[in-house]
């Protein structure tokens, strides 16, 4: 039995999402910018209806929603776009950001910005004091991820954002693993730039969002892709209409039955952990406790003592899991997230990440735990 437990990397496109997208491939395929024709106007209206409804769900204005090709592009546009309009200063991001934040921040350092990491504790949380200590009078931009893609840590943004707001810095939040998992309102949280991607929440790949606060002198964004001036000039290129429709439907689905799905998946995740612990001596949990509200309810991350995570995952190909960070091309280096929470390189290399979804079943959890325990025992014997 194949079991898919790699839902932080990508998810199954929900049947409801596929159904909503299909007419936009072979019936309503006109270019939404071609509004002079009835066909183009129809597609334009569908996109704008999706944008409006999405904005309501995200707690922002429709005109603040910029569609991109995914969270990597959104993060690059947020960071590169803000800093391109500045001539230096200080930038900081948490030590556990995704590579699509880390790489543009590194690039800023090359361009002369001063860069600092915001330290996290042994569970991946940023303490308000640690944030305060990193900020400087010349801090121009701060990037804090809402939920971590490896160990599932959910930052307490309600405590961190007021600290950032004591400065004039622009605040960017990568909410790629958070949207559809925890309530996230752009306006209530007082965020300047927010990123996410559809394929992490049962939407299609290749479509994402950057929410850009309007009416703030702080947030001035330079486009990173130039062309016909789509998306208020921030992101040129013909819109991915089926993607936009699918992204909207995916967010709608996720929020519609969030409490029910959350409870069911959390219970399955806890059962999976219990089954693994029963069969694997010395198993260690990485990241926040499972019973608190500080961890994504579909996330599990643990150390398999004496065995390399990558070897274990190769020995157990019927279970999809991850031994490196999500979507990282280079998985040979120990994860920077695990090193940042204080694990040694060997502990990091012996770790594996599991991500459950609304489609995960109890039978799958049992089969996956048995297969992993078998592979672990065999590797330990070798
Ligand atoms: C927290 C986070 N940010 C950004 C990304 C990049 O997303 P995309 O695959 O849509 O470019 C990911 C993907 O793993 C992620 O987990």
Number of C-beta neighbours around residue 273 at 10 A:
18
C-alpha 209 – ligand 1 centre gap (Å): 11
- CA 126, CA 118: separation in Å to the nearest integer? 7
Model pLDDT for residues 161-211, shown as the tens digit of each residue:
999 999 999 999 999 999 999 988 998 999 999 999 999 999 999 999 999
Estimate the crossing angle of helix 71-83 against helix 99-110, to 10 degrees. Answer: 20
Q: Specify whether the CB–CB gap between 9 and 234 falls below 8 A.
A: no
Question: Where in 175-320 does DSSP place strands (E)?
Answer: 193-197, 208-212, 284-285, 299-303, 319-320
Indicate the pTM of the whole model: 0.97
| pLDDT tens digits, 75-108 | 999 999 999 999 899 999 999 999 999 999 999 9
Task: Please list the alpha-helical segments (H only) found in the chain.
Answer: 15-21, 23-26, 38-58, 71-83, 99-110, 128-134, 157-164, 186-189, 241-256, 258-279, 309-314, 336-340, 345-349, 362-381
CATH number of the domain at 3-11+257-381, please?
Answer: 3.90.1150.10
Question: Of all atoms in ligand 1, which is nearest to the CA of residue 327?
Answer: 14
pLDDT value at 114 more than 80: yes
**Does 331 score more than 70 pLDDT?**
no
What spacing in Å lies between the alpha carbon of 71 and ligand 1's midpoint? Answer: 5
Q: Any idea which architecture 15-255 has in CATH?
A: 3-Layer(aba) Sandwich (3.40)
**Residue from 143, 326, 335, 336 to probe ligand 1 pocket by mutation (most atoms less than 8 Å from CB):** 326
Q: Where are the domains of the chain?
A: 3-11+257-381, 15-255
The CA 245 to ligand 1 mean position distance, Å, reads: 20
**Among 346, 268, 266, 271, which Cα is nearest to 310's?**
346
């Amino acid at each position: 039995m194949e079991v898919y437990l790699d839902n932080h990397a990508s998810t199954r496109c929900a049947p409801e999402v596929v159904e909503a997208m299909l007419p936009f491939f072979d019936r309503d395929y006109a270019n939404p910018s071609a509004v002079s024709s009835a066909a183009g106007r129809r597609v334009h209206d569908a996109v704008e209806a999706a944008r409006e409804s999405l904005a309501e769900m995200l707690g922002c204005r429709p005109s603040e929603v910029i569609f991109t090709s995914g969270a990597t592009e959104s993060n690059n546009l947020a960071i590169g776009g803000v800093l391109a309009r500045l001539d230096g200063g200080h930038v900081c991001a948490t030590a556990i950001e995704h590579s699509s934040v880390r790489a543009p921040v590194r690039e800023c350092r090359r361009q002369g910005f001063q860069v600092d990491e915001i330290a996290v504790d042994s569970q991946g949380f940023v303490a308000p004091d640690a944030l305060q200590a990193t900020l400087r009078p010349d801090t121009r931009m701060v990037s804090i991820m809402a939920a971590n893609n490896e160990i599932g840590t959910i930052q307490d943004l309600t405590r961190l954002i007021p600290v950032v707001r004591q400065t004039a810095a622009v605040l960017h939040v990568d909410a790629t693993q958070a949207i559809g998992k925890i309530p996230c309102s752009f306006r209530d949280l007082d965020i300047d730039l927010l990123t996410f991607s559809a394929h992490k929440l049962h939407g299609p790949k290749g479509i994402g969002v950057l929410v850009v606060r309007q009416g703030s002198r702080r947030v001035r964004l330079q486009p990173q892709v130039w062309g016909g001036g789509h998306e208020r000039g921030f992101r040129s290129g013909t819109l991915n209409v089926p993607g936009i429709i699918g992204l909207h439907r995916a967010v709608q689905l996720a929020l519609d039955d969030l409490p029910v799905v959350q409870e069911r998946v959390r219970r399955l995740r806890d059962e999976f952990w219990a089954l693994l612990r029963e069969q694997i001596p010395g198993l260690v949990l990485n990241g926040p406790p499972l019973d608190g509200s500080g961890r994504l309810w579909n996330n599990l991350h643990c150390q398999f003592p004496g065995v390399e995570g990558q070897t274990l995952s190769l020995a157990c190909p019927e279970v999809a899991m991850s031994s490196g960070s999500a979507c990282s091309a280079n998985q040979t280096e120990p994860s920077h997230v695990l090193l940042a929470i204080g694990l040694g390189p060997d502990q990091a290399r012996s770790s594996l990440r599991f991500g459950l979804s609304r489609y995960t079943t109890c039978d799958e959890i049992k089969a996956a735990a048995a297969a992993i325990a078998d592979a672990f025992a065999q590797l330990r014997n070798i």
